[in-house]
Structure 1
Amino acid sequence: MSLERVDSVDPSEVYDYIVCGGGTSGCVIAGRLASDLDVKVLVLEAGPDNADLENVHMAGGWSKNFDSETDWNLVTEPMKTIDDRRVKLSRGRFLGGSSGVNGTLCIRGMKQDYDDWGLSEWTGEKMFEFMKRAETFHEKDWHEADKSVHGTDGPLHTEPHDLAPISERVKESMIDQGLPYHPDMFSTGETPHGCGDVPRTVHQGVRTTAADFITRGHKRENITIKTEVTVDKILFSQDAEELTAIGVAAISTNGKKVEYHARKEVIVAGGAYCSPPLLMRSGLGPKEHLEKHGIECLVDLPGVGGNLMDHVLCFIFYEVSEPNLTNDHLAYHDNAIASTYKLYQEKKSGILSTFPFGIFGYARLDERLKDSELWTNAPRQGGRDPMGLLPSQPNIELWNTELYGGPKQYTDFPVDHKHVFAQCALLFNQHSRGSVTLKSKDPLENPVIDHNYLSDPLDMLVLSEGCRLANDIVMKGKGTKDVIKGSWPSNLTHHANATREDWEEHVRQHATTCYHASGTCAMGKPDDKDAVLDGRLRVRGVRNLRVADCSSVPRVNNGHTQMVAYGIGEGAAEMIKEDAQGSLSKLTSGVAKLAV
């Protein structure tokens, strides 16, 4: 058991709050807590500072951060349901975390998604306000924004994305195939079946990241940022059978062991893959699993590392017959990338100044699935479909890429003056659940991750039908049907004749992650035996310890998780301040009574 008295260490290494993880939620929390200049906040980040990482700030260079020291280099276990493939789970390992490598997309989901958590602290109304609080939205003349849902003074700068010609074509096809256009639907959260524009975390050609909450114009003297420091475990004291978090033990990049102590709280913000191992190494988790690794179980929390969710995604590639509809000519043809890079360096413009995703859509699939026995015979509850969704929530998300590209396994680049894009389908509210477990108690060793993708037959049915719809939009929609030359690469079966069974095989071969890992330290009500946290993000059975990141999500939203991570950071900071004020009020009241 790791017990230590706060007054036994160097006073310079004692802080009010210690934030373990300088990723999206962690930076938001630290920045907001430090607005009280009387508190000292420490941020511990395993990776380097992002200030000089060009491929963070240049959104088009995102993939150059992977497979290196700026990537956690996580890989799943082989999964039978996707042909025993392992999937690379690239995550940002630097200050700002995955906010510096993601697709820059601000897709909040639906308010109902958060109401479905069943926690009064995190209703849809509250979550949308938290997400709004983080943002400063910059308008563009062509975009019809709903100003009421956008923030105006947050450190996160966002703006709409200017569509490439192929995206305008896909937009026309989406509308033609029954997905009406609602410009700001991904910010309002009110349209489960339609298409619209997605704000991006890019402004004036530069990606904005969570690190901006504690650096640049928001750096404060009362925040200490220590990079290249890996947190090993949480330190505790125990009094009258009550466990209290008092600090952390960490390891610097040169192998030096050091301890940092907290007067008020320790906040774990390592994300869905890294937060559970930190809790488990500290003795908080499933007792049997901890004992297997020689770790004394201080609090038996069976839910730690379970309930792993993600949004499974499929890319479908097409070659187009007309030149320059896509942006391939600016990246792959001849030596175009050199002039493209020069344009970015000089003017912060061009395709490297943004992320190459185009128009987005949500779709309900009730009508398309009515001929499926699996769908029609599956149990339904309370007016919800077999996936557990209300008619106000989408089954899938669709979008197109603006040139060839995707996860790093896609290497059939159109270098010979050809032009290619992908139509993508993403599954919502999947039933399959995975796990994150320890490989060892070495803090420098990555955990064992099994996403268990598509193990539930309904997941496979809905995603494969989503692929069919994506293909119908491209092959039948009036904006694209006359410019499709065929599948890419050319040895694939032409998609126009593919059956649902064909699409299931496509999914098995090509399903991949959307990097939306969630749920492994989930919040829950008191009667939920698998909940790790209460509704205020406090770890069960421990005082002064919270987990605040996407691992805390009970059920992943029907959108993307970037804005969820910002929202959780904003909400957590508010709750921490409220609880600190409540403790101060109790102390003041107690002192007053003693005085009387």
Structure 2
Amino acid sequence: MGSLDMADTFDYIIAGGGTAGCVVAHRLADDTNAKILIVEAGAHNKDLENVHMVGGWSKNFDGPEDWNIVSEPQPGADDRQIKLSRGRFLGGSSGVNGTLCIRGCKQDYDDWDLSGWDGEQFFAAMRKAETFHTKDWFTPAKGAHGTSGPLHNEPHDLAPISNLIMESFQSQGMPYNEDMFTTGETPHGCGHATRTHYKGLPGTTGADFVTNDHHRDNIEILVNTVVDKVNIRQTNDGLQAHSVDLIGPDGTWRTVHAQREIIVSGGAYCTPTILMRSGIGPAAELKKHDVQTVVDAPGVGQNLLDHLIVFAFYETEKEGLTTDYKVYHGNSLATTYEQWKKEKTGFLTSFPFGAFAFARLDDRLKDEPLWKEAQAQAAPGRDPMGLTKKQPNIEFFTTECYGGPKQYDQFPVDNKHAFAMITELFSPRSKGTVTLRSKDPMDNPVVDPNWLSDPLDVLVLSEGVKLGNEVIMQGKGTSGIVKGAWPADLTHHGYTTREQWVPYVKQQATTCYHAAGTCKMGKADDKMAVLDEKLRVRGVKGLRVADVSVMPTLHGGHTQMPAYGIGERAADFIKEAWA
């Protein structure tokens, strides 16, 4: 596997160059005497145009920049297999996402009940990562934004359809609160979600923490290199992680050694498989694949959480409301692309999401037998989904043109115009698993999200979709401008009962790419907790995890900002340990 020499020895090895891993490296490099290695399975991001051009995001799917993971068939979702795309390049999924900065609320993190992770501390970590740039029309919440981090972000200028939908949200009982998705203090209202882009380019991906203006001479980056496993040895002081086996782009093996710590940052799908190939995981699962158990950790690969979303598309005959004419009509895409190439302006500089809202559904569900039965068993002050009144049940967000997951390919040509209302389920009760397909590191894992297996998830999501339809069809801003569903065979615009929506939800529900929780942290008495509060792998010294797999429960927001915050907290803990 290679001999031990200084070329193969580092203070810190970060296994995974995604969002959180790059943040950890950036902060650890403050110690100029520390030698840091980032190992990334995919390419460097510097020449990936569709990473730097925000509107090119979907072109990263299904090719070498995508892990190309596909779920197991989902009985709760019409037995469909769902594509679970993740970024496979330096910066990871922060370079192939919706750019949204939706942090959740402080109660989400207070609920973890873990030292160092309360809402105030975690919101501070997310602020530390960012530099916010306002616009003339936007009034940011005082003290809510960071001013000195590598992550640049700004508000999004709404298309006309989004302003109309914002008006409809308000008329349907969701008051306007401009910066609510930053503060996390409004569980029922509408407002603006800031985005990680600025002046025509993504404000950052995780890669920008370790490249360009933030390049550090003490960070080495190995790309196109796959992490096989972490090697662990028995010492007088217990089990110690000491090296990592790698497979280079030409298929050769190499072992690199860590003098201080190894930080696994492979994400919710790949981190548990790295640990399992290293002998850390459920003993029965490891035995299936002829992997010797080093630490019997039953929680590795369990507790897979994700936010499900449902797209409902609508058509409008009014010109100029949506932005379809900039990409689908005639040769508009070529013109739009040339504008980006020459000026770094226009449609392709941002992600076509528009208006946003949070909603509580208590009043709408209070008489439902399933809800009432579950409420009787809920903890004091909690609803059947485990949430307080401070936490939303549902998020709504809208597109400003037609587009979404790959199955939505009925593009509105011939001067037609379409947009979507998207409904997202928070606090899912259904939990899935990630397991090994084999011990070959080139094999993708077996991912079973187990979506909609809990009937309460179906109840809440379908009621949310029903409310979203009411916003579009009855709301003050949009009532009268919607011709009907797009395409015509989706007749949902006429649905009036939740029962009508349930089959549609099962047919259309898909991932919001918020997979988390598969190597969760927890207290010492939690047998399913893989990590302690400092992100250390239980039972092994010198080994931590830093990515959204560490989350015990999924917050009410999007995972980009928590991924940056987890990277910041991990770096804090490591610096503290080696001070």
Structure 2 length normalisation: TM-score?
A: 0.99
Secondary structure in structure 1 of the residue aligned to 2:365: coil
What pairs with 1:27-38 in structure 2 (closer than 5 Å)?
A: 27-38=22-33
2:77, 2:506 within 8 Å by CA — same for their partners in 1? yes
**Range moving further from structure 2, 36-45 or 377-386:** 377-386
1:100 aligns with 2:95: yes
2:312, 2:492 within 8 Å by CA — same for their partners in 1? no
What pairs with 1:83-482 in structure 2 (closer than 5 Å)?
A: 83-207=78-202, 208-240=204-236, 242-378=238-374, 379-482=377-480
Secondary structure in structure 2 of the residue aligned to 1:32: helix
2:484, 2:491 within 8 Å by CA — same for their partners in 1? no
Aligned to 1:576: 574
> In 1, Cα distance between the equivalents of 2:29 and 2:424?
38
Aligned to 1:593: none
**Range moving further from structure 2, 364-373 or 99-108:** 364-373
Give the residue type in structure 2 aligned to 1:556: L
Give the residue type in structure 2 aligned to 1:554: P
> In 1, Cα distance between the equivalents of 2:563 and 2:135?
26
Superposition deviation, residue 241 in structure 1 = 6.8
> In 2, Cα distance between the equivalents of 1:64 and 1:44?
24
Secondary structure in structure 2 of the residue aligned to 1:526: coil
Runs of 4+ in structure 1 off by over 2 angstroms are none
Q: Deviations over 1:176-211 (max 9, x none)?
A: 111111111011110000011011000001012110
> In 1, Cα distance between the equivalents of 2:238 and 2:495?
64
Superposition deviation, residue 492 in structure 1 = 2.1
Superposition deviation, residue 498 in structure 1 = 3.5
> In 2, Cα distance between the equivalents of 1:498 and 1:206?
42
Give the residue type in structure 2 aligned to 1:476: Q
Secondary structure in structure 2 of the residue aligned to 1:397: strand
Aligned to 1:505: 503
Secondary structure in structure 1 of the residue aligned to 2:269: helix
Secondary structure in structure 1 of the residue aligned to 2:578: helix
2:50 to 49, 55, 63: 55
Superposition deviation, residue 427 in structure 1 = 0.2
Superposition deviation, residue 266 in structure 1 = 0.1
Secondary structure in structure 2 of the residue aligned to 1:480: coil
Give the residue type in structure 2 aligned to 1:251: I
2:180, 2:192 within 8 Å by CA — same for their partners in 1? yes
Superposition deviation, residue 147 in structure 1 = 3.6
What pairs with 1:518-533 in structure 2 (closer than 5 Å)?
A: 518-533=516-531
Superposition deviation, residue 236 in structure 1 = 1.7
Q: Deviations over 1:364-397 (max 9, x none)?
A: 0001112211111112112100000000000000
Q: Deviations over 1:298-340 (max 9, x none)?
A: 0000000000000000000000120121000111011110111
> In 1, Cα distance between the equivalents of 2:40 and 2:212?
17
Superposition deviation, residue 497 in structure 1 = 3.1
> In 1, Cα distance between the equivalents of 2:555 and 2:469?
25
Secondary structure in structure 1 of the residue aligned to 2:363: coil
Superposition deviation, residue 494 in structure 1 = 4.3
Superposition deviation, residue 347 in structure 1 = 1.3
Cα RMSD for the two superposed structures: 1.0
Superposition deviation, residue 142 in structure 1 = 0.2
> In 2, Cα distance between the equivalents of 1:551 and 1:376?
32
Give the residue type in structure 2 aligned to 1:572: A
Superposition deviation, residue 564 in structure 1 = 0.4
2:494 to 479, 493, 496: 496
2:63 to 65, 68, 73: 68
Give the residue type in structure 2 aligned to 1:184: D
Superposition deviation, residue 35 in structure 1 = 1.0
Give the residue type in structure 1 aligned to 2:297: L
Aligned to 1:591: none
> In 1, Cα distance between the equivalents of 2:297 and 2:506?
34
Secondary structure in structure 2 of the residue aligned to 1:368: helix
Closer/same/farther in 2, CA of residues 123 and 234 from structure 1, 3 Å limit: same
Aligned to 1:15: 10
> In 2, Cα distance between the equivalents of 1:219 and 1:382?
50
Give the residue type in structure 1 aligned to 2:90: L
> In 2, Cα distance between the equivalents of 1:226 and 1:326?
43
> In 2, Cα distance between the equivalents of 1:430 and 1:95?
30
> In 1, Cα distance between the equivalents of 2:151 and 2:31?
20
Q: Deviations over 1:142-194 (max 9, x none)?
A: 00101401111100000000000100010000011111111110111100000
Give the residue type in structure 1 aligned to 2:77: I
> In 2, Cα distance between the equivalents of 1:150 and 1:494?
39
> In 2, Cα distance between the equivalents of 1:236 and 1:77?
32
Give the residue type in structure 2 aligned to 1:482: G
Give the residue type in structure 2 aligned to 1:362: F
> In 2, Cα distance between the equivalents of 1:279 and 1:494?
44
Give the residue type in structure 2 aligned to 1:519: G
Superposition deviation, residue 496 in structure 1 = 2.9
> In 2, Cα distance between the equivalents of 1:93 and 1:498?
42
> In 2, Cα distance between the equivalents of 1:496 and 1:399?
20
Superposition deviation, residue 107 in structure 1 = 0.1
> In 1, Cα distance between the equivalents of 2:494 and 2:128?
45
Gaps of 5+ in 2: none
> In 2, Cα distance between the equivalents of 1:555 and 1:349?
39
Give the residue type in structure 2 aligned to 1:278: I
Structure 1 length normalisation: TM-score?
A: 0.96
**Range moving further from structure 2, 18-27 or 340-349:** 340-349
Closer/same/farther in 2, CA of residues 220 and 494 from structure 1, 3 Å limit: closer
